[in-house]
Chain A
Amino acid sequence: MIQVDNLVKRYAGFTAIHGLTFSVQKGEIVGFLGPNGAGKSTTMRILSCFMPATSGTAIVAGFNTYDQSLEVRQRIGYMPENVPLYPEMRVHEYLHFRAALKGVPRSRRRGQVERVSEQCGITDVMRKIIGHLSKGYRQRVGLADALVHDPELIILDEPTIGLDPNQIRQVRGLIKDLGKSHTVLLSTHILPEVEMTCSRVIIINKGKIAASDTPENLKRLRMGGGETVVEVKADAKAVENEFRAIPDVSQVEASPSDGGFCKVAIHPKRDEDLRETVYQIVRQKGWGLRELTRRRQTLEDVFVQITTEDD
């Protein structure tokens, strides 16, 4: 669906993206993740034919974004960052206008507008003036616009920015639904977002791709699994020494806790679950035990690690 090869974009004297290469297959929901200024919007603007790349090629839905831009634009639904809309129009007027502009035949326009307004939960504001809508509704009007011509590919630039947690949940649900019948490329700098909605994540930093994989694989590959945390009633020094003796352990940190307990964090060398081994030792020693967990890693740890690696 998307084939990007060595894409470079230079703004007057400043290179925003340096040679991006990636592809997105039909049916995927791909998250474009990166800190502010990473080049996410720039890439999406090139893919949606708003502006050309300085060099490199981007093929979207089988057409070149540079010289077949009209064909590309017929097949994509793009929602820009901050969702620009015409404040003086009513929601239904706007959606009809956009449907017409995107070539939805007159006979199907009403049906399409109805369908996307239900999908995006804006049926109760259809007669309102866009300028009077709340941010959450405006976001959803933008989303409805991106969907109104039933595009093959949906490109959403920061679809949940500025929404409250409730609205974010709704929009995420909607994106997941869309993913069942569309290819979706979305950008975000919020990590849980990609973890929850995307089948694949492309981490981009300073205009370069830092990593690209499923959220699960990224978590596993980059950090070699999370540490085991155990809280036992014993002397911290003794506990530390005991756990250091386990093979495959890279690091053990013990710190005293209340009531004669001490809290120990045990880092495995590879992606390994140490809980059972730890339990056996604790039982053998007859220490009192009040916690034994394996800390789950969030993509956030991975993200922070990847995007700060080369500093």
Chain B
Amino acid sequence: MRNIWILFKREMMSYFFSPIAYIVGVAVLLIMGGSFYFITYILSRQPGDNYTASQWFFNGFFFWIVMLVVPPVISMRLFADEQKSGTIETLMTAPLRDWEYVLAKFFGACVFFIVLWSPTSLYVFVLRHFSRDTTPLDLGPVVGGYIGVLLVAMLLISIGCMASASTRNQIIAAIIAFAIGGSLFLVGFGFFYTSDKYKEFFDYISMLGHMLEMSRGVLEWKRVIFYLSSSFFFLYLAHCMVQSRRWKN
């Protein structure tokens, strides 16, 4: 546990020294800001839609672009870079366990993702401030939306960890992670194309369905469990890849 904290601190530091992190940060803010502006614009012209503002925000086209692209980009260097620069050799000959290494990387990326997203929470308050709405703000959908985002991000980052651990090339890692995450996203659409028998299964794994529910303020435990357990599964694969070095051949 102590080792995770030590590695985690170093990981956070290196994020704040990496130019890519800043580029991604600015891009996220611009895209989500643009998307937010766009949504407020649409809603102001044709209110009374079936969807709430929160559902718009957490399910728009731009939202999903950011969701599917950012985790691969912030996790691509995690393991690949250590393998390429050789620092893996100093790390793994220090007395730390492989799973501590994997978890520290994973938590580092998750926390960095949260840091990237936190400024968007200002949008909610901006919106409240400038609207004439005087009813108390319903925080449920907003909080639900952010929990939903975090769950999806954890899954995609764990996929990113696995991809990064499988290569020493960051770009390849990002492409693998994006391909797997994107496929998982698309498979969720099977919900609309299958008969009742499979509908439940596709509903279960659909990221879109998950975010629609969460941004309504509905927390479904089966979905939470799906995200946590599949994150765990990909982290386990990442751990196997890190550990494969220690296999005798």
The answer to whether A126 has its CB under 8 Å from any CB of chain B is: no
The 0/1 profile, CB within 8 Å of A marked 1, for residues 107-121 of chain B is 000000000000000
For the residues of B in contact with A, the DSSP-based class is helix
Q: Which residues of B contact A281 (CB under 8 A)?
A: none
Docked complex Cα distance between A53 and B245 (Å): 11
**B18 lies within 8 A of A54 (CB):** no
Docked complex Cα distance between A82 and B89 (Å): 11
**B7 lies within 8 A of A53 (CB):** no
**A98 lies within 8 A of B94 (CB):** yes
Q: Which of A12, A54, A70, A88 contacts B95 (CB 8 A)?
A: A70
Residues A51 and B94 in contact in the complex (CB < 8 Å), given A84-B85, A88-B14, A97-B10: no
For the residues of A in contact with B, the DSSP-based class is loop
Docked complex Cα distance between A85 and B82 (Å): 10
The 0/1 profile, CB within 8 Å of B marked 1, for residues 52-88 of chain A is 1111000000000010011001101010101011101
**A50 lies within 8 A of B92 (CB):** yes
Q: Which of B3, B93, B246, B248 contacts A54 (CB 8 A)?
A: B248
Question: In the complex, which range does the number of interface residues on chain B fall in?
Answer: 20 to 34
Q: Which residues of A contact B245 (CB under 8 A)?
A: 50-51
**A86 lies within 8 A of B96 (CB):** no
Docked complex Cα distance between A179 and B57 (Å): 65
**B249 lies within 8 A of A45 (CB):** no
The answer to whether A101 has its CB under 8 Å from any CB of chain B is: yes
Interface residues in A, total, Cβ within 8 A: 33
The 0/1 profile, CB within 8 Å of A marked 1, for residues 69-104 of chain B is 000000000000000011111111111110000000
Docked complex Cα distance between A205 and B51 (Å): 73
> From A102, which residue of chain B is reached at the shortest CB distance?
B94
Docked complex Cα distance between A152 and B120 (Å): 52
The answer to whether A103 has its CB under 8 Å from any CB of chain B is: yes
Docked complex Cα distance between A100 and B97 (Å): 14
**B87 lies within 8 A of A85 (CB):** yes
> From A47, which residue of chain B is reached at the shortest CB distance?
B93
Q: Which of A50, A89, A97, A100 contacts B89 (CB 8 A)?
A: A50
The answer to whether A197 has its CB under 8 Å from any CB of chain B is: no
Query: Can you show 21 pairs from A to B with CB atoms below 8 A apart?
Result: A48-B93, A50-B245, A52-B246, A53-B248, A54-B249, A70-B95, A73-B94, A73-B95, A74-B95, A78-B90, A80-B89, A84-B85, A84-B87, A86-B14, A86-B87, A88-B18, A89-B10, A97-B6, A101-B91, A102-B94, A103-B95
| 9 closest Cβ pairs, A-B complex | A84-B86, A88-B17, A73-B95, A80-B89, A48-B93, A84-B87, A74-B95, A78-B93, A100-B6
Other 15 A-B pairs with CB < 8 A, given A51-B245, A88-B18, A101-B91: A12-B249, A48-B93, A50-B245, A66-B248, A70-B97, A78-B90, A82-B86, A84-B85, A84-B86, A84-B87, A85-B87, A98-B94, A101-B3, A101-B7, A101-B95
